[in-house]
């Protein structure tokens, strides 16, 4: 009996670990879809960042500003179809880019895999369907990411820099 109990314990532990890992993978994939996502992803980002939010809406887009207690500010721009077409960030700490960029985070990593020894070099992606410009150093990080094909008609890219809605 004792031998059977010992043999079943590791099998049960492996099953529990596999179940926990599967649950973690499923839950993390649902919580990572800001850029290209919907209002639900904005709500997830607000919760993940423990941020206060302010929304400004006009006929061209909605701007959701997420402010953290450490001074970081994340702005998410949503087009009339309900798609997050741009994200900007600025503040003393680098935000969770995996959270903000979702599936496109892998593209950011791949396009910046070959880096010089200079660790403060800006990170960029300049593709027809995805653009990122990010830089900074300890105490001052900034960046922007957007989906050119999802920009609302007449949207001015300078609005990403100022974070204002007309």
State pLDDT tens for residues 84-143. 999 999 999 888 899 889 999 999 999 988 766 556 678 999 999 999 999 988 899 999
Q: How confident is the model at residue 24 (pLDDT cuts 50, 70, 90)?
A: very low
Give yes or no: residues 25 and 72 share one domain: no
For the chain, percent of residues with pLDDT exceeding 70: 72
Percent of the chain whose pLDDT exceeds 90: 30
* 23 and 41 inside one domain: no
When divided into structural domains, the chain yields a total of 2
Nearest Cα neighbor of 150 from 87, 81, 99, 75 is 81
Same-domain check for residues 83 and 50: yes
**Burial class of 21 by CB neighbour count within 10 A (0 to 12, 13 to 18, 19+):** exposed
Q: Residue length, the chain?
A: 166
- Going by pLDDT thresholds of 50, 70 and 90, the confidence category of residue 38 is confident
Helix (H, G, I), strand (E, B) or coil at 52: strand
If you search the block for the tokens 């207690």, which residue do you land on? Answer: 69
């Amino acid at each position: 009996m004792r031998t059977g109990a010992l043999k079943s314990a590791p099998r049960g532990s492996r099953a529990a670990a596999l179940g926990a890992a599967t649950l973690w993978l499923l839950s993390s994939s649902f919580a990572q879809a800001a850029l290209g996502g919907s209002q639900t992803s904005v709500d997830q980002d607000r919760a993940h960042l423990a941020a206060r939010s302010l929304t400004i809406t006009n006929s061209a887009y909605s701007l959701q500003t997420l402010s953290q207690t450490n001074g970081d500010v994340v702005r998410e721009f949503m087009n009339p179809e309900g798609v997050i077409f741009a994200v900007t960030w600025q503040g003393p700490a680098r935000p969770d880019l995996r959270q903000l960029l979702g599936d496109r985070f892998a593209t950011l990593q791949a396009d910046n895999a070959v880096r010089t020894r200079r660790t403060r070099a800006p990170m960029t992606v300049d593709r027809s369907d995805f653009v990122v410009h990010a830089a900074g150093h300890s105490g001052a990080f900034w960046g922007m990411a957007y989906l050119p094909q999802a920009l609302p008609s007449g949207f001015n890219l300078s609005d990403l820099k100022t974070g204002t809605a007309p």
